[in-house]
């Protein structure tokens, strides 16, 4: 962890959840006690169909909500898209952009991810910009170069620490149960911080929250969160289980 940075644990529900599952958010809110509130920020990113209802249900809990993606344009003839302004209107604080599933399955380039991050910032949302290498890229010794390139292409220049979160999610670790070693995570997060300093300047980069994602669960959270420059977690499947999500938050606290 970075002592000067308040950690964030964000849950990405992906394409999971119906109205009955708002009970999960309620259980998280019930377990977000004073000790946790004093130590760590929480956010839940449900599917767009649940965003407004979850935001309303969590009012007063100090748990933020976010979208899992946002459109580049503010409005217009873009059937099926959800704009950043619409997310904000639904109560969101964050917007995940550039997740590896969006990059791989929807062909999103670094330029598209940057445009989405800029759209989020324009709507006063904080983008969670995701970066990460494939297993083939890591095995070829290209992991650091790949992530640096993604950062240069995806992070809006001029971002301030309060207007940006970066999540490192090695593609090969997402949903597989595999995780890199703490040493590998530390090396990558240190490299991300250094690259952000080149993009944004050292003062801004020093305050950006860097999350780790990729098969984060209660059993490995404490070890991962103890690594330098890891300022929280972007949690996938475990965020659909309130007690697992809270256990990861306690590991940060």
Q: What is residue 183's predicted lDDT score, i.e. its pLDDT?
A: 95
With respect to residue 139, please indicate whether it lies within any of the assigned structural domains.
yes
Tell me: the pLDDT tens digits for 200-234?
Answer: 999 999 999 999 998 999 999 999 999 999 999 99
- Is residue 57, in this structure, part of any structural domain at all? no
Choose the catalytic residue: 133, 169, 189, 229. Answer: 169
Tens digit of each residue's pLDDT (9 = 90 or more) over 142-177 = 999 999 999 999 999 999 999 999 999 999 988 888
For residue 205, the enclosing domain spans 62-165+172-190+197-224
| Known catalytic residue at 101 | no
Domain count, the chain: 1
Q: What is the pTM of this model?
A: 0.97
Whether the pLDDT of residue 25 is over 90: the answer is yes
Going through the chain in order, the beta strands assigned E by DSSP cover: 8-12, 41-45, 63-67, 94-97, 126-131, 165-168, 209-213, 232-235
Query: Per-residue pLDDT averaged across 14-36, rounded?
Result: 98
CATH number at residue 73: 3.20.20.70
**Does residue 41 fall inside a structural domain?**
no
User: Is residue 135, in this structure, part of any structural domain at all?
Assistant: yes
- Asked if residue 204 belongs to a domain, the reply is yes
For residue 87, is it within any domain? yes
Residue 240 lies in a domain: no
Q: What is the predicted pLDDT for the residue at 57?
A: 98
169 is catalytic: yes
Has residue 24 been placed in a domain?
no
Region of 2 (left: φ > 0; alpha: ψ -120 to 50; beta: rest) is beta
């Amino acid at each position: 962890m970075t002592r000067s940075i308040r950690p964030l644990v964000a849950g990405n529900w992906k394409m999971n959840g119906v109205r009955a599952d708002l009970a999960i958010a309620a259980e998280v809110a019930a377990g977000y006690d004073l000790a946790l509130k004093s130590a760590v920020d929480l956010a839940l990113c449900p599917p767009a169909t649940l965003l407004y209802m979850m935001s309303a249900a969590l009012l007063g809990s100090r748990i933020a909500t976010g979208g899992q993606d946002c459109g580049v344009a503010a409005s217009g003839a873009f059937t099926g898209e959800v704009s950043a302004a619409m997310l904000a209107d639904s109560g969101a604080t964050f917007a995940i952009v550039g997740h590896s599933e969006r990059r791989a399955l929807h062909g999103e380039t670094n330029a598209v991810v940057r445009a989405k991050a800029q759209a989020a910032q324009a709507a006063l949302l904080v983008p969670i910009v995701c970066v990460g290498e494939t297993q083939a890229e890591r095995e070829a010794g290209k992991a650091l170069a790949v992530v640096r390139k993604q950062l240069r292409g995806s992070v809006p220049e001029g971002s301030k620490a309060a207007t940006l979160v970066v999540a490192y999610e090695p593609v090969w670790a997402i949903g597989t149960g595999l995780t890199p070693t703490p040493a590998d995570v530390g090396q990558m997060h240190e490299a991300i911080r250094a690259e952000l300093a080149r993009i944004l300047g050292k003062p801004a980069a020093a305050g950006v929250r860097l999350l780790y994602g990729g098969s984060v669960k209660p059993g490995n959270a404490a070890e991962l969160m103890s690594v330098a420059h890891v300022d929280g977690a972007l949690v996938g499947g475990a965020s659909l289980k309130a007690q697992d999500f809270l256990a990861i938050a306690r590991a940060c606290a």
